[in-house]
Amino acid sequence: MVLNKIKTFLVIIIILVLIGAMGSCVSETAQGVEPDSTEQEDAGDDDSLSESSGISGEADENSSGSSRTSGVAESGSSEADDAIGESGVLNESSGAANENSGAVLDASSSAESSQEGQAVESSDATKNAGQSEQQSAFDLSQVPPYSGSPVAVVNNNIPFFTADELTTDVFEKYSDLDSLGRCGVAYANVCKELMPTEPRGKIGMIRPSGWHTVKYNGIVDGNYLYNRCHLIAFELAGENANVKNLITGTRYMNVQGMEPYEDDTKSYVERTGHHVLYRVTPIFEGDNLVASGVLMEAHSVEDNNFYFCVYCYNVQPGININYANGDSEIDENAQVASDTSQTEEAGTDNSDTSAGVIAADGADAAQQTDATEKTYVLNNNTKKFHYPECPSADTIKPKNKEIFTGNRQTLIDQGYDPCKRCNP
């Protein structure tokens, strides 16, 4: 009897112990699940914060990008030197030049103005390189097809320099040649200190990419189709037989397109003693060895009063050019006389742009008009004379401007030179 009671008591104790043990396991299990749930919630908060942070960062980056008013300098650059990298070419992110060649441009963006460009001397100091309403980068589709004018205005004539690039430090930089032997960006701060002090030497030993020695007598001024064109003119930087500064350019582009802007820049610097940021980018499409043209930019540092941004077409009226290798042929559709004397006998004016041909320096037309009285606009400062309709005549300051009626030879005898843009 007693033994049975003891057995029953032990069973009860064992049952109670088992029940206690089970309760402990359940409690531990419940406590083990709770931290996992907390970890998931924490992880979810981290993802949310990270995602939110990413959006904020992106917005900041976009805001930073939109705050840039203009420029072809490297992204994030604050020095003029950063506009050209180690190899001397513009950073691809600028949209102005390919990083490898320094001059291969994308032709897929919006179109720009087709009006004739001119160097501007303005008294409005608010017209500077940092205007936010202008385009921030250049691409070839901003340039309309050639239609008779040697230049086209780009970006409303405002260059792509950033405010950080404006400096009075003297420098000149020339890009290394790319794998095809082509020039890239040439960039300088033109000033009196940089201008040459010695006569120009020979450059005939330089053969730029796509070079051919070819003549078209009576069609091309000087007969030779191609010139070794300085990106930065010798008169501005004293750089002559530098393979990094010479491209294959037509006589027409060299004289009608580039030279007036070079002369205007030189005249401005000599007159004011100021610095002019000056950059020329040759534009090569794809693997072409001959540039389609050049982008010329200038901006006076001290006063913001002198600036331009133009594209000069590397074309020659009356001649078809294969830009891939520099080969050329006469354009049979152009009304071009093959012999100058025949043209003069026929009474044809070589300056007739409707025929698709423009004499590069107007020599033939000038001979015919030397004794003819006409009205010209004189610049008493630069000692140049222009036709009244010439774009350069509009930029002459009133104190330097004079109207003259007479023959051109009289002006030449007085020391005036004909404008190379309108060829009076």
Q: Is residue 359 part of a domain?
A: no
28 domain residue, yes or no: no
Residue 194, domain extent? 80-330
Pair 298, 151 in one domain: yes
Comparison of pLDDT for 351 and 286, the residue scoring more: 286
Whether residue 272 lies inside any domain: the answer is: yes
Q: Is the domain of 289 the same as that of 403?
A: no
**Residue 195 confidence class, pLDDT cut points 50, 70, 90:** very high
168 shares its domain with 242: yes
233 pLDDT higher than 60: yes
Pair 87, 227 in one domain: yes
> Does the pLDDT value for residue 150 go beyond 60?
yes
Question: Is pLDDT of 18 > 70?
Answer: yes
Total number of domains in the chain: 2
Are 277 and 375 within one domain? no
Same domain? 129 vs 211: yes
- Together in a domain, 404 and 311: no
Has residue 133 been placed in a domain? yes
pLDDT at res. 35: 39
Q: Are residues 246 and 110 in the same domain?
A: yes
Same-domain status, 208 and 282: yes
Last residue of a domain, one of 268, 299, 330: 330
> pLDDT tens digits, residue range 313-325?
999 999 999 999 9
CATH number of the domain residue 296 falls in: 3.40.570.10
- Going by pLDDT thresholds of 50, 70 and 90, the confidence category of residue 374 is confident
Q: Which of 272, 298, 330 is the last residue of a domain?
A: 330
Please identify, among 330, 353, 385, the residue that sits at the C-terminal boundary of a domain: 330
Is pLDDT at 63 greater than 90 in this prediction?
Answer: no
Judge whether 32 lies within some domain.
no
Q: pLDDT, tens digit, for every residue of 112-138?
A: 333 345 576 654 433 444 343 456 789
> Per residue, what are the HEC states of the chain?
CHHHHHHHHHHHHHHHHHHHHHHHHHHHHHHHHHHHHHHHHHHHHHHHHHHHHHHHHHHHHHHHHHCCCCCCCCCCCCCHHHHCCCCCCCCHHHCCCCCCCCCECCCCCCCCCCCCCCCEECCCCCCCCCCCCCCCCCCHHHCCCCCCCCEEECHHHCCCCCHHHCCCCCCEEECCCCCCCCCCCEEEEECCCCCCCCCCCCCCCCCCCCCCCCECCCCCCCCECEEEEECCCHHHHCCCCCHHHEEEEEHHHHHHHHHHHHHHHHHHHHHHCCCEEEEEEEEECCCCCCCCEEEEEEEECCCCCEEEEEEEECCECCEEECCCCCCEEECCCCCCCCCHHHHHHHCCCCCCHHHCCCCCCCHHHHHHHCCCCEEEEEECCCCEEECCCCHHHHHCCHHHEEEEEECHHHHHHCCCEECCCCCC
Q: What is the mean pLDDT of the chain?
A: 72
Residue 6 lies in a domain: no
Determine the average pLDDT of the residues in 196-207: 93
Residue 24 has pLDDT above 70, yes or no: no
| pTM of the model as a whole | 0.56
Residue 393: band (very low, low, confident or very high) from pLDDT cuts 50, 70, 90: confident
Q: Are residues 158 and 92 in the same domain?
A: yes
Are residue 404 and residue 299 in the same domain, yes or no? no
| Higher per-residue confidence, 307 vs 419 | 307
Give me the pLDDT at residue 181, please: 97
In a domain, 29, yes or no: no
Tell whether 321 and 381 lie within a shared domain.
no
